[in-house]
Structure 1
Amino acid sequence: MKDDNHKNCVIHTEELSKIYDEGAVPVKAVNNVHLHIEKGEFTALVGPSGSGKTTLLNLLGGLDTPTSGKVWIHGKDLSTLSKNKLIDFRLHNIGFVFQAYNLIPVLTARENIEFVMLLQKESKKERKDRIEQLLKETGLEDQGDKKPSELSGGQQQRVAVARALASKPQFVLADEPTANLDSKTAGNLLDMMAKLNKDEGMTFIFSTHDQRVIDRARRVITLVDGAISNDEVRDTNKVTT
């Protein structure tokens, strides 16, 4: 890794590419991406549909394997990890927020949030305290015992965010976190994440089409045909709650 002097580096990539070769013509979903994400960034990946945003997000989170190039997280080369070690590494370092929520339908909101901490083998007290804190922060104090089917889309998305934060991750990867949410719900969700970013220095990377997310981002990275076409760093005081 060539950025040893960057002590606050969370993610670093070099010549990162992902090629899908399932049809007659290979598709470069991610094309030779060099990226450096510092701790505490509030960054949006933007671009037209098919530009590679979600694929890049999945590569950064170790959910997909690059065709070529490298991803380092806190200096750890993901390609050197076995499947089981990669799963464990993601569990303790990365929070994921998926567009489809991916909540476990038979579990309550409280149990969905707790699930990742059970995998981490946190104590019962730590789990209980963290769950109550996250339910309060997400405005779900009175919804903890409801299952996903009993919650609105916005409430389910807030549970998904709380679950992502439960593990106290190094950073959060959020794929279209405000998709299909009304303006008020989306605004509340973004307020919460911006507050965590400001108060706790938590790093957020969004894949998004939503102008509401883009307007709040302090860094906007534009992808076209899998490659970075523009990387704009904005006023560091931009994110407010």
Structure 2
Amino acid sequence: MNNTVIDAHNISKVYNPETIPVYAINNVHLHLEKGEFTALVGPSGSGKTTLLNLIGGLDKPDNGNIFINGIDITRLSANELINFRLHNIGFVFQSFNLIPVLTARENVEFIMLLQRIKKRNRENRITQLFKQIGLEDRINSRPAYLSGGQQQRVAVARALASKPQFVLADEPTANLDSKSASNLLDIMDKLNKEEGMTFIFSTHDPRVIERARRVITLVDGRISSDTAVVETSIPHHINS
């Protein structure tokens, strides 16, 4: 059985190619399997967010190919890519990106409406998701009446609404206090361990890194190390 979710080959992203080229991502190879809980780390400007955006189809590489479940997303048209993201990839952003005029419930349901999921199935999924994030009592609140931690939990529910192949989380704890960050990571960790949901983080946060089962370090747009963390929490190097 093939558990490969993401397979990226020789991908590069170059800015200012006609003057002084700057490689945000430089000839990166990346293989990720279903059920991973992986952190992309590195200093500012190392390429973490750029790599996440390329994997998520929010940007296109200048070179290389990115296969998601065997489909090369670099060859998809703009409309095909939008549809592919909608059905296969969940996103969690640093700034939450909730629609302020919608309730928490409506923010989550919006994704399912785009997918034309039937009302009964939407209702069942929404009930399940708000139970998982522990916000059943705030389901009808608008973002302005939710704390930062609560908003980010709603963002996680929204990311999961479409039952994606994986979730990309860009600095999800950056705007959260310690308790809110811990609660959020508990939810994501549980979803990973109990349901096999694949999470890929871009992060500076040691609280995220210490929970990751794989840590990929980027420096100047290249992968400098790729470390799997075994159950004993002793790092085991894959390559460097």
Q: What is the match of residue 51 of structure 2?
A: 56
Check conservation: 2:65, 2:72, Cα contact below 8 A. Answer: yes
1:226 equivalent to 2:217? Answer no
Q: What is the match of residue 17 of structure 1?
A: 12
1:86 equivalent to 2:109? Answer no
Matched to 2:68, the amino acid is: I
Residues 64 and 237 of structure 1, relative CA distance in 2, 3 Å threshold: farther
Distance 2:86 2:103 in 1: 21
Distance 1:8 1:237 in 2: 24
Q: What is the match of residue 173 of structure 1?
A: 168
Matched to 1:175, the amino acid is: D
Q: How big is the shift at 1:80?
A: 2.0
Matched to 2:99, the amino acid is: I
1:208 equivalent to 2:180? Answer no
Q: What is the match of residue 156 of structure 2?
A: 161
Distance 1:120 1:171 in 2: 17
* Range with bigger deviation, 214-223 or 16-25: 16-25
Matched to 1:92, the amino acid is: H
Q: How big is the shift at 1:149?
A: 1.2
Q: What is the match of residue 124 of structure 1?
A: 119
Distance 2:18 2:131 in 1: 48
Distance 1:24 1:148 in 2: 44
TM-score norm. by structure 1 comes to: 0.94
Please identify runs of 4+ aligned residues in structure 1 that moved more than 2 A: 22-25
3-state SS in 2 of match to 1:161: helix
1:38 equivalent to 2:33? Answer yes
Q: What is the match of residue 3 of structure 1?
A: none
3-state SS in 2 of match to 1:216: coil
* Range with bigger deviation, 83-92 or 229-238: 229-238
Structure 2 residue aligned with 1:185, among 177, 180, 184? 180
Q: How big is the shift at 1:146?
A: 1.1
RMSD, aligned α-carbons: 1.3
Q: How big is the shift at 1:236?
A: 4.8
- Percentage of pairs with the same residue: 70
Q: What is the match of residue 99 of structure 2?
A: 104
Residues 237 and 112 of structure 1, relative CA distance in 2, 3 Å threshold: farther
* Structure 1: runs of 5+ lacking an equivalent: 1-5
Matched to 1:162, the amino acid is: A
Distance 1:236 1:205 in 2: 19
* Structure 2: runs of 5+ lacking an equivalent: 234-240
